[in-house]
Structure 1
Amino acid sequence: MFDHVKFGVCDFQVSKRFYQSTLKPLGITGYTDWPPLGIEIYDPDGDISLCFYQSAEKPAPLHIAFTAKSQQQVDEFYSAALQAGGKDNGKPGLRPNYHESYYAAFVIDPDGHNIEAVCHLP
């Protein structure tokens, strides 16, 4: 549906460490620095990337959901996010109000964005 998403962050180095640590359990390990334009983080096998840059503007909070290949990846994402400074916004678990096998976890990143990892597999 999209090629990349790009947004501003208040503290580039803090966000860079947060996202690199948090997304690693999901297999999202590729990154390219584009000074002064920011960073691009991507799944080495994929075509979609997340980009962010230093900004003095405080953007409205985003909700970004990343695909996990297993419930274990969701659990590892959540743990890594908390260790990297994220705040709990929904522990890993089934969310049957979305559908019966929707397994997700939610964290708030350093800029207040709601970051999710979700596995749709039963």
Structure 2
Amino acid sequence: MKETLKYLLKIQSIILIALILCVLLSPWHTAVTAVLSGGMLCLLTTAQALLIFCRLPDVLPTQRFLRAVKQAEIRKWLIVAILGTILVQRWQPLGVLTGFAIPYTAAYFWAILKK
């Protein structure tokens, strides 16, 4: 799980950098701050899951693993709900959504297709 999350974080970072470069080169370049903040929100959710699983041993009982997954998911969506609301109010909503959604979903599809 730790290796998968590290790989996912790396891929999300690469996709975010590519996305920011595309936004900078587009006529929509004023939204680069909003895209960056949405991307950082994406990276933050993966990093917090990685921190939860780094503290656990590699092999653990099913109940403990499910509890860790549940805790990671609850924290992830609390971070998205609270910080996402704040970021959408401060910057351009479409930029924040683009910065979060593209690296988040593309990295998961990339990881699935790699396996």
Instruction: Give TM-score, length-normalised by structure 1.
Output: 0.29
- Answer 1 or 2: which has greater strand percent: 1
Q: TM-score of the superposition, structure 2-length normalised?
A: 0.30
> Whose radius of gyration is greater, 1 or 2?
2
